[in-house]
Every structure is written in C-alpha cells, then in structure tokens.
Structure 1
Amino acid sequence: MIATKIRALASRISFWFYALAVTLFLMLGVYTFRAAETLTSVDTFLWALPSGATGLIFALYGLHVVYSRSRLQGDPDAVDRIRLRRQSRLVLLAFLAFAGSAISVGGLYLREITETIRDQRFAQASTIAGLKAQQVEKWLFERSVEAETAAASIASLQGQASDSDRAQMTELLFAEWRARNPERRSAWLLAPDRRVLAFAGRAPEPEEIEPTLAAVRESGGAMRIVEMPGRNPATLRLAFIVPILDPATKQMRAVLSVRVDPALTLFKQLDETSSASPGEAVMLVRREGDDAVLVKAPPEAPVKAGQHISLKDKDRPAVQAVLQGNGVREGVDTIGTPVFSASHAIEGLPWFVVVRAPRAELSEPAWQSMSSMGLHIAGSVVVAGLMLFVLWATQRADMASLKARHLEERAAIAKHFEQMVQGARDSVILADPAGRIVEVNPAAMAAYGYSPEEIRKLTVRDLRADAARKDLEAQWKLSDSVKGAVYETTHQRKDGSTFPVEVSNNAVVVNDRTYRQAYVRDITQRKALETELHRIARVQEALQAANSLLLRAKTEDDLYSGMCDAIVKIGGYRMAIVVMANDDVAQTTRVAAFVGPYGGPMQRRDVTWGSGEGSEGVVGTAIRTGRVQVNQNIAVNTRVARWREEMLGEGVQSYIGLPLHVDGRVIGALTIYSEMPYAFDAAELRFLTQLADDVSYGVSALRAHKVSSAALP
C-alpha cells in the first residue's frame, strides 16, 4: 500500500514538472515567432522552426508518456525496458527543445543584424556609385572645356595668317597642348572636304575621317563625345569632336578631333579613391547590341577591358547595370563569387558606373557581433546538458538491473544453442526477432569467414548476396509456421564471394521471445552437378537431333547448316561453324555453314590448314593433323593471339575443333564455341566426337548416293 502511494505521488510530481516545462517552452516559442514576424525575409521563419518543432515534439511525446504509463501491461522486463526507453527519449527531447529554442533566438538575432547591415551597405554602395559617376562626369566636362578652348584658339588663327602659317601654328598649338597633359593622345584638324589640315600625335587613317565628320553633322554643330576603339581591343579612346564655324556665315570651316586616353588619369582616380571596404571594385560598362562591354575592368580581375558579356547572363553586375539602370542588386562575378553591386548612369555617355563588393561583407560583421552571444548560448546549452545528464544518471540503477536480466537471458540462449548445434556440420545461425545474429556454430564461422565478434555484429540480411535480399522478408515470414520453411537462396562470404545455400528456418521461443534458428547447407557441389547434368543432357539432345537430320538431309549444305543450327539452338553453345579445306596450293579454307550471333567468321579469309601463318589455330590444326583440338581458355592461350580480341568481344571463352573424315582423309572441321572457359570435359568431348563422326558418316553417305545416282541410266 505504501509503495503504491509513493509511486502515485512520484507520478503526480513528474506530471507537474512536465507541465511547467511545457509552459516555459510554449512561452519561449510565442516570443520567438513574434520576433520572426518583425523581420521581412522568409527564411527568418526557418530560424523559428527549431524552437517550434522541438518544443512541439517534446510536448506531444511527454503527453504520450504521461497518459500511457498506467496502460503498460505484460512481461515486467518488457515493461521496464519500454519505460526506460521512454524516459531516456523524454530527457533527450527536453535537451533538444532547449537547444532548439537557443538556436532560434540566436538565429533571429543574427538575421536581424544581417538585414540591418545589408541595408546600410546597399545605401553606402549606391552613394559611392553616384559619387563615382559624378567624378566621371566632372572629368568629361573638364576635357570638353579644354577641347572647346582649343577650338576657339584655332578659330582665332583663321583670319590672321596664311594657310601654311596657320597649319604650322596649329601644329605648334597641338604639340604644346599635348605636352601639358599626357592623356591627350592625338589631335586632328580636318576640313569639311576630308583634307587633314594639321595633326599632332598619330595621323588619322582615311577610314577614320568620314566617321568624325559624320559625328559633327549628326550633332547639328554641337560638340560630340564619341567612343573610339584603339588598335588594341582593350584600349579605349574618347574623341572630343568640336566644329569650328565661320563667325560671319556660321558655316563649318574645320573640325577639331581630340582623342583622350581615360585610362591614364580617370581610371586610376576611380581605383585610387578610398572605398567602403577592401574588397570593393569599380568598373565602367556600356551596352553594345546583345552584350554588355567592359569599358573599364576591375583591377586584378580575370576579365579585361573590352570584354563582351552576353545579356543572357543576368546575374552578372555589368549586365544588370545596362538592363536595369540605377540601383543596387545581388549577383555573381566572373568566377562565380556571390557579390552585390550598385550602378549609376553617366550623363553625356552611354556608360554606367558599377561598384561591386563581395556578398560575404554583408554577413561577416553580423557573425562577429554574434560571437559573444553565441558563447553565452553555448554556455547555457552546456549547463542544461549537464543538468539533464544528472537526471539521466539517476536511471543507471534501472539500466544495471535490466542489463543483468539481459545477461541471464543471453546465457540461457547460449546454453540452449551450444547443446543443440555446436557439433553440426552445416552452418547454424540463431537470430533475434529483429534479424540480428545472436549465435553461430563453428561451421558457420568457417563457411562465411568471420570471427565470432564480427559475425555477431551482422544481421541475416548482411549474409545474403545483393540480388537475393529482395526475397528475405517473404522467406523470413514463412518460418513462423509450425513446420518452418525450407528454401534456396544465395549467401556471401566476408571476402565478397557468393555461394548457393539451402536454408531450413524455424522459430524458436526462448524466455518468451521468438528467435529464428536457421540450418544453412552449402549446395555448391549439388548445383554444379545439376548444371553439368543439364549441359550433358543438352548435348545428348543435340546429338539426337543430329541423328534425325542425317536421315532428312538431301545435300551436304543442308547437313552442315542443320548440324550447326542444332548445336547452337538445342545444345546451347555460343556458335558453330563448318570449315572445309580447299585443295589448293595455299591450302586455304572456306566456310560451309555458320550459326551464331555475329557474322565475323563468314568474312574471314585468313585461316589455312597448312603449316604457315593462319594455320596455328584450332581449325587449321584439326584439319592438318586429323585430331581433335581443344582450346579451353582463349584468354591465356597464345595460339589464338591474332583472333583473341575478336572472339572475347563476342563472348567466346573456349572452343573445340573436330576433324571431319571422309574416305580416309580430312575434308574439314566442325568447330563449336562456348561462352564458358573449360567447357569441354571428357564426357562432353566423347559426345561431340561422336557428333563429328556422325556428320562425317552423313557426308560419306550423301556423296555415295550422289555417285550411285549419277551412274544410273
């Protein structure tokens, strides 16, 4: 009575402690999901899932344990094992629920910090892109002013000197102007009729004059800035084209084209300007047809200026800039590294400034901020784990008692097994209800090649060959019957080799538990004998068919073809061929009949029956010597080296050459091919020799009948 009251009191206390734990987890879960609602990204809810999922599983399983405690009935040992497993699972789930809640809180905090930093860096990148664009526009404005100033100076010379003097003065002006700024690569003064009035630096090519004049005409007399490719595709020149007008008539008297290299100052200024991060890079891009073209590539990048990028690569920052214009977006760089970029259009040119930085910069500061909080969370989890470990340690007494009962059970099983099967010649295996191997006899260890410790770690499935495992469940259930089950299957040894077995499986009850006791017999020799008998039976059947053919054949060709057909289709061989010896100087052969999966032998002309090359094989030797020739293993026989690869490729492993004797001489050979090495044993050789003798007799009879028929009037 007192023990019953104590157990009831312990149950109530454990229930209220469980209810308190569930309440705390629910409160923490509500806080976590409310915190997730304040964030905008979808994956923030994934951070909330560890807390919700582990807390829910803990609550549901705890309810199951509490309300099913009084319903456990049956064997006391089984009930104790069930209770112990449930308590261990409940402790583990409590720890996982706490750890999941800690992970959710830390993850949501990390996500919030990451999004804040992301927004700040996007705004910063957009500002930098705008400043870089202003820097480019300022540079363009300054060069435009310089070009217009030079044009005004040249215009003032038009009415003050002769043509030759004006040309000299202009070239002097050009030389002085270029010397002051190295980025001014060349200057041309062109007449409307395509004449070159003066130049400094590289002289204009004839094909460059008309596009320059056309640019002025299209601008309606205003200055134009035109992008001109250099001789090197990676070299860029900007042409500042200014028309020089007659003050009186307003007609165009000349055109000034100044070519400037922006890489000397502008591009360096863009790269040297301080950036928000060491990984940030600046590039200039423009659109050309269906491509984005790099006007300026990032320093130390694998891509170079002038490289084209297809607009189909919409994750590339350059493509995003020319397609979407100003803005900040995420993508990947040339080598596939995730990046974010900001782009800004440039006034006066169809260019975009793109500021690119690694996407890792968005998360690294957050992880650094999270390190201290992570230490606190990890410490809390460790403390909770230690507390739960103390709780788990109180169950060790029950576990020790349960283990003692298991040892007693195992001792009873071992004694029973040892008395019955230790001396058996067949393999005997005892498996528990789950299929785990409990005991085996010495014959089983010898048959499978495992030590006692190794084989007790396996299941009955592990002893089966891969192809035979699909039948295990059905055959396992058959042993539940009173008479047990007897079936054949294939097992495998430790070294991976397989062998056929006959299994006699019965159910054995030990200490109220149902085990399976299997007697396993190796039937390799029996299967080999069955195979040999089946093969001999097929040869005999082919021999009977051949004898019947002797009575029906009207011609030698009918006899040869029928024999080959019977050998392959009835005898089960790979191929059969009848080769006849030609009575010529070269001692060649011809194919009289062939049945098989490929037609190679029908086209072969390199087999002879003399003593030269091509006669060393089985066919030539059988015709030349008049004796049966056998090649039991083509893969290692050097006599067939010239035909080995062809025959192995067609599945031939061995073959036999049987000479055909007619009127005391050899007229040819019957050759039979097999898919197995060493296929022709003594018994089969006798049957096949008899078959060749029958063919020889049939040929003799057909020839005699032909002679006698010809002699009749």
Structure 2
Amino acid sequence: MSTKPQPAAAGKRGSPGTDRPLLIGVVTLFILIVLAFGGAIYEGTRRESRDEVRAILDFRLTTVQRDLYAWARDRSAFAALWVQDEEVQAHVANLLAVYRDPARLRANEAHDALRRRLLPLLAINELRDYFILAPDGTVVAASLRSRIGTRLKELLPEQESSDLDVGLAETTLPRFAPIPLLDQEGLPADDQRVIRLSAVIPDQDVNTMATAVFLLDPADEFADLFKQTREGASDETYAIDRSGRLLTASRFTDRLRDLGLLAPSADPILTFAVRDPGRRLRPADAGSLSPDAWPLTKAADEVTHGRYGMDVDGYRDYRGEPVVGAWAWNETLHLGVITEVDVAEAYAQFHFRRQVIGLFAAVVIIALVGLAWVHDRNARKIRLREQHLDQLIDNVIDGIVTFDAQGTVERFSPAAERIFGRPAADVEGRHLSILMPLMAGRPAEQAAHEVEGRRADGTTFPMEVSVGSMGSDEQRKFTGVVRDITERKAAEQALKRNEERLREILETSPIGFAITHTDGAFIATNPQFATMLGTTVEALMETRIQDYQADPERHAELLRRLRHAGEARDFDAPLRRKDGNLLSAILFCRRITHKGASAVMSWTYDNTQRQRAEDDLRHSREVLEEKEEQLRLALESMSDGMFVLDGDYRFRMFNRRYQQITQVPENLVAVGKPLRDVILDSAEKGLYGPGEPEDLADIRMAFYDTPGYAESEITTIDGAFLSVRKTALEDGGAVVMMTDITDRRQAERQLVDAFDVISGSIDYASRIQRSLLPRDRFLAESFAEHFVIWEPRDRVGGDMYWYRQVPGGYLLLLADCTGHGVPGAFMSLLATGSLARAMREIPNGDPAKILGVMNSSIKYVLGQDSASGESDDGMDMGICRILPAERRVDFAGARFSLFVASGTDVREVKGDKYSVGYRSVPLNKTYTNIAVPLAPGDRVYMTTDGLTDQVGGPNRRMFGKRRFRELLAELADRTMKDQKKEILTAFRDFQGQENRRDDLSLIGFRLD
C-alpha cells in the first residue's frame, strides 16, 4: 500500500480556518436535531400520558359499573329466592286471610314466625328494615310492629307507592327511595338513607299474593363498591342522583366541613350536591360560600342528562380543584357514576418525564459544545499523527480505512480489502457510505462503536469500528480501524438466548431452585423457592439455608450424602416457612463448583398438595364405603319397590320390597338376571291382558326403552295397583321405582263419587239462588231502558240484586256479600231474609234506614253483635229509591258508589265508608241518604267491585273506576242493550288470560 499512488485528496491539507465553520455547522445541526428529537419525545410522552389517563379512568368506571351490576343482581336474587320459600308463602297467606285490623295482624302467629325467619337475615344481608304489603296496600308484616296495619300511601309519596302497587311490581333491582326508617320505639331513625328492593310473593298458582319490600343501608356494602378503585391521594369514585346529590361518601368530607359546605356532624350522602364553585376553594373562604347558586360540575351536569363522557384536559370538581374524570349514567340503578383524580396527580409522571427530557437535551447540547471545543483544540495534534498512521495502515491485521472530514476514503488497507471483498482502487476516492451505509449523512468523526458493513456482493455483516483523527490543523484526516465481528456476535447472541431461556425457566418454574455456599449462604435462587418459604427473593438472599431446616437430623443426613455421593435424589426433608408452618418438601441436590469454590445446587418440590390429595382420597374411600352401607340399609327400609338395570336391562340392584309388592318368583330376580324374564312371566299370567306373551313382553319392554323419565301403572296377580316410574341413566341403564297405589285408587274413586254428589247439590243451590232474583220483566215495566249483568265467578255467587215497589216509586238494590261461591251464596240468602224484615219495618223504602236495619239484623243472625265469636262476615250494598214523578233518586251506600252519566259527563256518588254486618261496624250505625236529581236522558249505574278490581291488561293492573267512567262516557249515545254488550266485551278483553277474581254484577237504567 505504501507504494500506491495517493489520490489527489490525500495530498491536500485543510487549515483551521476552513475546518472551524464546518465544525460549527455540524454542532449547530446536532443541536437542532437534539431539540427536534426532544420535542418529538415530549409530544409523544404527552399523548401517551393522556392515553394512560383515559385508560385508567375507563378501567375504574367500568370496574365500578360491573361491581354495581353484580351487587344489584345478588341482592335481587336474594329477594327473589326468599319470596319463593314455601314456608314464607304459607305465613303470608295466613296474614292475608286476617281482617285488616292492626291489632289482629300484630297478634297473628304468622307475623312472629316471619320476624323470626327474617330478622337474622337483616344482619347477614345488610338489611335495615322490611315490610310485606297486602294487595290493598296494607302492611301485614314488618320488622317494627308499629308499621303493621298502616297503608302504603302513609309510608311513601304517591310516585313511590305506585311503583310498589301489589299485583304490578316484580322483583326489582335496588334503588334509593324516600322510605322513612323507624327505631325500635317507632320514632324516626337518625339515618334515613335507604335503598329499596321489592319482590313479588306468589301463591300456589303463581299469581301475585303480596309484595315484600326490603330496605338496605347504602353506607355498607354499596358504599364499599366505590372505595375499591382508590389508589392515589386524590382519586375518587362516587355516585349521584338526578339532582346531583351524592349517594356515596365523599373522600373529602373533612375538607367540605372545614369550608363550611357541610355541617360539622353532617354526612354528605343525599345532602350534598356536586356543584362547581368556579374557583379553587381555600380555608379562608369558609363562611362566605353560597353553594346553592353554583351550577353542577361538568361531570355531574353531563351524567344527570344521561350522557357518558370523559375529560382528560381538566375541569373543576366540587372542591374547585382541577381534575380529570369519566362518568356514565346507570339506567338500571337510576344513578350516575363519576370517577375523578386531581390533574396534578394524574399527570405527575408526565411532568417528571418532561423535566427529564429537558435535562437530557441540555446535557446533550452542553456535551456537543464541549466536544466541539475539545475537537478544535486538538485538531492540530491530530493532523500531526496522520503521518504516523499512514505508515501503520499497511501493517496491521485489522482493516484500516483513512477518510477525510467529508467521508471520502483516501486509503484502504489490504486487511480492509479482505474484510470488504473490494480492491482499494474501487474504494479510494469514494464516500465511506459504500462500506458502511449508516455513515451516510453523518459526521465523519465517530467514537468506537459497532456498525453494519457492506461487502462488494451487497451482503452485510457486523463489524466494530474505532475511529481516530490524525494530521495537522491544515488538513485533518480520520482513521477507522475495522474488525469483522460476525463470529463474535453469533456467539454473543447464542449465549444471550441461552441465558434468557435459562432465566425464564428458573423464574417461571413451579419447582424451587437455589445455589448455596457450603456454609449455607445463598448465591442464587428463584421466586418459586422464596414463595415456598413464605418470603421474598431479596429477603432470602440475606439468610442461610439452615434457617429454614425443620429437622436437623435430616439436614445432617443430606450433607452426609452430598459428601459421599456428590448428590441426593428424591430426598424428603421438612422445611420451616417464615410464618412458622412446616413445608413437606422433596429435594434433589448436587455439589457443583461456582467461581472456583464448592457450592450446592438444589431443586425443591412442594409435596404438601400431593400428601393432601392422598389424604383426601383415603377419606373419600372411607366416606364412599360408609355411603354404600347407608344406601343398602336405606333401600331395604324403603316403602317403595326399587331396582336398577344396566345397559342390557339386567338387574344390577334391587330391594326386598320390590319382590314383596310384585310377587315375582325369587328365581327370576337376581343380580345379572334379565328383566325380560320377569315381564314374560307376568305376561304369561295374564297381567298385561289378552295376547301372545312374547308380543306383550315386547310392548312392555318398550316402556323401559323410552329416554329420560317415564311413568306407567301395572296390576299384580292379586289385583293391586302399582305406579312404575323409570329414570334413564347415562350408561344406558335405568332406575325404576314401584309404589303400591291401591289405597289411593280407591280413595280417588270415592272422591269422584262424593264430588258428583256435591256438584249436584251446588247446581240445585244455583237454581234456588237464581229463582230469588227479580224477573227481568218487572224491571222492564219500571224503566224506559235497563240492563242487568249478573255473572257469579263460580256456579253460585255472593252478589245479589233485589227489586220492590214502594209508595211513589220502587227500590233497586245491588249487594256484594263476603266471599264468593257457596259461602257468598249463603250470605246472599241471609241478605234476602234481612231485606224482607227491613221492608216490614220501613214500608216507605227509606234506603238509609233499610241499611241500618240490615246491619243490625245480619250482625244478630251471625252472632257478630257481641265481642265473642269467630265469624266476621258482611256485605257492601247500594240502594236506590227511584221516584219517577219527582225525577229523583234517593241513594244510600254501604261502601258502595252510584254512577250518574249526563251525556259524556260521568260522576261518582259515594256512599258511607262503613259496610253492613261486619264486627267493626257499630250495631246502631246510621247511614245517609243522598238525593240525586235526574235530568232527561240521564243514565244511572251500580256495580260491585268484581268489575273494578279485576286484574288484566298488558301491565296487569286493575280495571279501576277511572277506566269504568271513561267506558261509560264512550257509550253515551248507545242503547242500554248495546251498552251491556260493549261493557262485557271490554271487561273480557281486559281480563285476557287472567283468572276471574270475583263475581261480576252491574245494573244500568234510564227513566226516559
């Protein structure tokens, strides 16, 4: 190389005057690059921080929402399960059968039984109170006796009470509700916060019987749901209602009190609204704040309008602090969920990164300026060394490449030709980038580093480059020492892969690993071994293995084996955990050499689970044997016959009772015997009727081939009836039960006979009851138009109507007696007799006086005129005395109303609030006459509650008086005959598939 002619560039020497501007330009470029790179990192860090904040807020919001749904479903499931309890349903049914008198309800044993059943559940399920509502809204059971007998509307506002209308409510999710809580003395409790949960109690026919209402404390488990996501110093998740009031405790309650936004002893739940003060509040602001004039915070305003949202730029919370947050409205629980954290805390990591980026940029810029200064100062010394470098290039083993400040190659050593596969003539005078692509566009001077080289054929390889400068100030040169490190890099990568694989195996291994000195001090270990000993890797490294040996003798034996054999396999030795508990361990130990010193490598397996599994298996076998013996005894003591078949229909098991009730020959019944032999024997004896025994046996065997569950009946040779129930097994076999139902068949036959007798008697009673009702032609003679609807729910009913002429007019009466069916029919007969007596005493037909006489007469006949006695029966009744000449109706009602329609205007004329005959009605009760003048064309109607109380429609609500009045208004221009048809059609359409609740009676008439 020394004899080669040098390129023209090699003979030129730069001066300091020409190098310094270039150096300044290069440094300035690097500074701009550093600033641009720092700006890009800053912007990326800002975006990442915002994304992290969004993810954290979304995770907290989603977590609380999910926990809320789970908590609500759990509470609703508890209520739904409780109301399905047959014992609870029986107690509720008993309470509903009691007259709605508070004293009687409180004295009923069913109420005490319910309290004993429910009060323990109050504490277990965090319930504060409960009560059970009858269909009429009466509280029939409650944790506090003072509530019993009260009405639903006395407990709740109208809007809340409508949600608990019995017959309409279903099992609901918990919700906040203004239900007053009482203490044991019946006084208002200090804490009135409550969550309401209601569930329908069905009867045996799965119809609504009552409604159970449970009251939960929101400060217990409900509030804990919002505390689980708290991590930092300012993050908070809370719930609010539609008005923005807090439904959970505030993390900053003490600060709110210090600011005067809360009274010293006040709780923010349901008392504090989440409002924006417009600025950050300070302790000096206390006493001068007017929070009622503040608007809701951004999150509260959004969520109370039902919107989901998130703000990571910052807004003020109810303290006036800038926060970031996310919010969502929970339609299921009717509350809004908001999660927030102070902006300073949310972006603390971002601010730290920003400072680090700025410091890094400053350090790099200072370093660049310093390096430029040092480079300029040493430029002359470097140029002097270039001459000596030229002499060494051709004699070194590593490749030497000399290039100028612009990257132009001036000299290419023979070793470099071999490394790059290029001749010097092809490289000298060209840019360095043809050898090292990454050097393109970079300054020529570089510190020692690894780069990628390119050979003549275009292939790349790793190489190590050490770059130095030489020459005088007039002309600086750079020399790069190039070394091909392909083999070294391959070895390093292989070693790194092996180390990473070994480290991953050790860290994820379920077996404990450790290396210790001969004195027991730890050299290395893995997390699993530390976990086995109940400590951490860091703490374990500060101890010795002897600290965990539970049996010194076993430890000495282990050391003896290591000294003699160099290893110990499957060595069981107990270890003592850090908490003092023993660990059953299996060890594999081997002596090794570590850094020239003797050491021990051990693998430890936790044997506790295997021992526990063996103990469990042993116990399971004992339990199985005991259960088999119990099963055998149970089978022999069963009153039913039982046998088990395998997949080929052979006997696998049977009891003696099977042989006794079937009288099958003993030689046919044995384990492994086919069932078909037994069936064929029965067919041959004629038990399956006439026909070929083989054919009859095939038909009978088909019963056992049916999948799943099947039932049939057979008769024995002595005429007994047997019920056969077969349940298929997964292996193709079956379990068969046989019950002697001979007595039941005889009882059923007797029951059918008795039913026929009773049914005939009821039909006869129905004819008698109908014969007592007035003939329709009598009514037709008195009214221009009229109609009568009288439909008992059963064949006889408790509704009746009655007609008599009196001086100046005639009487028309409609009554609803206690009950329906046969009991109601008997009451209607008593009412007919009482009416006859009343007419003898009051011939002018005064309606109010007739009600008074009937009240005393029925109470006397039923023995309800004294304090003693068990019956409490009576009736609701309306009486009209129609005076055609005066165009007036005198009406008296006992819990009964009269409806008068003038065109489309329908008004209700209400009677007295007392019924007739019940014990609660005074014996000398007087009733009131109401004079109702009639204009031409006016229509008059009377109806029992069988119409208005009927449940139906899509929402399962009652027909009601309002619907009845609207129907009468729609029929204003129709004849009475057509009105009857339309009313019956509307009633039946409304009833739909619902059961008829009561007798249906309705009378309508007009005078002209």
TM-score by length of 1: 0.37
TM-score by length of 2: 0.27
